[in-house]
Amino acid sequence: MTPRNEALPKASERHSSGGQSQLVCSGCRNLLLYPVGATTVCCAVCSAVTTVPPLGTEMAQLICGGCHTLLMYIRGASSVQCSCCHTVNLALEANQVAHVNCGNCHMLLMYQYGARSVKCAVCNFVTSIGASPSTEQKA
């Protein structure tokens, strides 16, 4: 799991020129432009209908652990299902995750704070948390 939660502008701040705003299509993940005030947007590529978040909604993003697609979601959600591969991703806030280097390949791993071990997605090695206090870094 490698979530990359980043703060995105509020819905009211995601405006582009000409009274338009933008969001990511819930079907094909393309960026869609739509007129401010619309409640839903139909994608011209895949015909999926995406609901526009209410004004003032804070958004966040993470990388899907299954297919590595960038996912946008409403901040505060506990999990996010990828519309491409249907993987359910944990949406952890920055204070809920910690980092440790893999004990085998030294890849930097992210895990839920308090876990006893973490499995590397690159080499499948299981690193025990707390085995080497200098390798654990709280985010």
Domain layout of the chain by residue ranges: 6-90, 94-138
Nearest partner of 72 among 139, 19, 2, 7, judged by Cα: 7
Distance CA 56, CA 45 (A): 27
Q: How many CA atoms lie within 13 A of 65 on its CB side?
A: 18
Question: Residue 104: what pLDDT?
Answer: 96
- pTM, two decimals, is 0.48
Tokens matching residue 72: 């946008």
Residues 6+ apart with CB under 8 A from 59: 8, 9, 10, 11, 14, 53, 72, 73, 74, 75
What is the average pLDDT score of the chain?
Answer: 79
- Span 39-63, pLDDT tens digits: 999 999 999 999 998 877 788 888 8
Length of the chain: 139
